[in-house]
Structure 1
Amino acid sequence: MWELVVAGVVGYLVGAVPFGYILGRLLRGIDVRDYGSGATGATNVLRVLGPKAFLATLLLDSLKGWIPVLLAWHLTHDHTVQVVMGICAIVGHDFPVYIGFRGGRGVATAFGVYAALLFPLAAGLTALGIFIVLAFRYMSLMSIVTVPLGAVVLLALGLAEARMPGVGEVPESYAIFGLAASALVLLRHIGNIRRLLSGTEPKIGEGGRPRMAPRPDTGR
């Protein structure tokens, strides 16, 4: 039990490191949450700070999921420890204690965890995500399709008792991570889903708030 507690705490504290926020402070002396969508994730960093900072945030946020979960396996060889650490890493990213619990939406960190659990799955989801972004130009659509699809694949592999190189038999507990990650990502994208359904979701590079434009006051 103590291993699960430690995994949860470590996963949360690592996941809570707000790289997008840190880059905003270092590069522009700003809080990226005061601009664009108000999130600290890579998509908002792209709007506010540009493509180089976007790529840096994307990589660093992914590593928050990948490195701890991979280390958890090498240290414990316990799939449940991996799953707990992965879920808590996303919770930390979404609700970071260091900056008042206002963070990102967990997509890059979820991809990092997928990479640690089953790298071929993460590679396939990345390829699909790139296709969705290039074809439809909606980052939000990519997010709400790929992360839940990963959960479906993990569940199917677990139920089929499939064996994968480097993993062996895919444990059904991996699907628990996928389902939890999907729930967190979808909850954080409720507004985007509504705009996609109504046809008002801005595409990449058009229709959104201009770079460095402050978020409108919503009264909250």
Structure 2
Amino acid sequence: MDFATENVLALVVGYLIGSIPFGFILTRLAGMGDVRKIGSGNIGATNVLRTGNKGLAAATLLLDLFKGLTPVLLARLWYPDAVGWAALGAVVGHCFPIWLRFKGGKGVATNAGVCFGLAWPIGLAYAFVWLGVLAGSRISSLAGMCAVVAAAIAAAVLGYEDYIAVLVVIAVLIIWLHRANIGRLMRGEEPKVGAAK
């Protein structure tokens, strides 16, 4: 199999796994309706938390993380030279799932799984920044954006040159998807996790 074909297959497998809309599925199965009709309208864990069900939000977070991790690990077995494409596919799949007319989440949890799959030190840097900023600010969007930038920096600093490009592309995508959040942050209007509605 040639290099280009491996890249395409890794991207497609990553996309299909990443596009499984766990937040949407879990809230439907729990009888809580369509998560896209509340809060931000996203299918990620932060919006699932707005249903008031912390268990569902935690399950969504873990499943979204694993759907980023899984295609990267599979690519390591099947197409080791195309791991970056699998990583990109997983995040793009979560953000633009074909099953939900390409309207998904913002990719932060899925990218956490991707980072751990690429290299555990990058994953640890991602988790440390994500959780640290979240604990300090209680603003989910800010924590996520800081984490995606930290992952790209960690790859450069720790010597994972092969992953810098894909992590930069993913960071740009995720920050672009947070553009409305950035506007609210600048206006001081971004809601905090656990704040009264």
When normalised by structure 2's length, the TM-score is 0.94
Q: Provide the secondary structure at the position in 1 that maps to 2:92.
A: helix
- Cα RMSD over matched residues? 1.3
Q: Provide the secondary structure at the position in 2 that maps to 1:120.
A: helix
TM-superposed deviation, 1:131? 1.9
Cα shift readout 1:28-63 (whole Å, capped 9, x = no counterpart): 251100001100001001112521111100110011
In the alignment, the residues of structure 2 paired with residue 193 and residue 93 of structure 1 have an alpha-carbon distance, to the nearest angstrom, of 20
Structure 2 residues not aligned, in runs of 5+ = none
Matched, 1:191 2:180: yes
Matched, 1:96 2:97: yes
Identity percentage of aligned residues: 41
1:201 to 183, 190, 193: 190
- What residue in structure 1 maps to residue 10 of structure 2? 7
Paired residues in the alignment total: 194
TM-superposed deviation, 1:124? 2.8
TM-superposed deviation, 1:77? 2.6
- What residue in structure 2 maps to residue 166 of structure 1? none
In the alignment, the residues of structure 1 paired with residue 100 and residue 184 of structure 2 have an alpha-carbon distance, to the nearest angstrom, of 28
Amino acid at match of 1:144: M
When normalised by structure 1's length, the TM-score is 0.84
The structure that is helix-richer by fraction is 2
Which has the greater radius of gyration?
1
Structure 1 residues not aligned, in runs of 5+ = 163-169, 209-220
TM-superposed deviation, 1:155? 2.5
Tell me if structure 1 keeps the 8 A contact 2:21–2:43. Answer: yes
Cα shift readout 1:110-130 (whole Å, capped 9, x = no counterpart): 110100011122123212222
Of stretches 147-156 and 56-65 in structure 1, the one that deviates more from structure 2 is 147-156
Amino acid at match of 2:9: V
Matched, 1:32 2:13: no
- What residue in structure 1 maps to residue 116 of structure 2? 115
- What residue in structure 2 maps to residue 84 of structure 1? 85
